[in-house]
Structure 1
């Protein structure tokens, strides 16, 4: 067994695709409209779905905004250098929620950014070895 994807609902599909591809460097792997259900799915990731976990963006036609709720946590993405990643994201207009620095009560370097729909994304420094 393995985790296939995490699904996020978006109020503006193209805006979210642009964020995940242009700012976070993912690739749009596939996209499909479902006219009978009035929704569109887009799958994005850093590698092929057969090998990698991906993000599924769901756009329900005509819905422009969602309430995130208090139970949702975040998506985590490993980066080589958290300081460089946050500087690049900030330079591209991305919203930084927490600047790069050690995690609470630990030494792992992390940061948090926010996608266009308000979902937090944790950037975690690559582990040595």
Structure 2
């Protein structure tokens, strides 16, 4: 078994794809549309769908926002240099919702950003845990 993907519902597919590709450096790996049920799926990631866990963005046609509820937490992305990465993301207009620093009660260095739909993304300094 393997973890294949995480799915997020998005209100503007082009805006979200632009964020994940242009800001976070992912590649769009696959896209499919279902005209009968009026939705589009886009799979993004840093490696192939077959060999890594990817992000599935689901756009239900005509729906432009979602309530995230109380259960959603975040997705996490490992980075080599969290301070430089956060500065580069800020320079690209990304919202940093928690500046880089050690996690409370620990030594792992983390930061949080928001995607265009308000989903939280944790950045984790590789090798800091």
Report the TM range for the smaller structure's normalisation.
over 0.9
Aligned position for 2:113: 113
Local SS of the residue matching 1:21: helix
Match of residue 5 from structure 1: 5
Counterpart CA distance in 2 for 1:77 and 1:56 is 15
Q: C-alpha distance in 2, partners of 1:104/1:23? A: 27
Moved over 3 A (4+): none
Q: CA shift at 1:67, angstroms?
A: 0.3
Deviations 1:18-60 (A, max 9, x none): 0000000000001111101100000000000111100000000
Q: Separation in 2 of the partners of 1:68 and 1:84?
A: 29
Equivalent residue, structure 2, for 1:88: 88
2:71 corresponds to:
71
Instruction: Note the residue ranges of structure 2 that are not aligned, 5 or more in a row.
Output: none
Distance 2:87 2:34 in 1: 38
Question: What's the TM-score once normalised by structure 2's chain length?
Answer: 0.97
SS at match of 1:124: strand
The gaps in structure 1 that reach 5 residues or longer are: none
**Displacement after TM superposition at 1:78 (Å):** 0.2
Instruction: State yes or no: 1:54 paired with 2:23.
Output: no
**3-state SS of 2:3 partner:** coil
Structure-to-structure mapping, 1:35-46, within 5 angstroms = 35-46=35-46
Partner in structure 2 of residue 17 of structure 1: 17
Report the TM-score, using the length of structure 1 for normalisation: 0.97
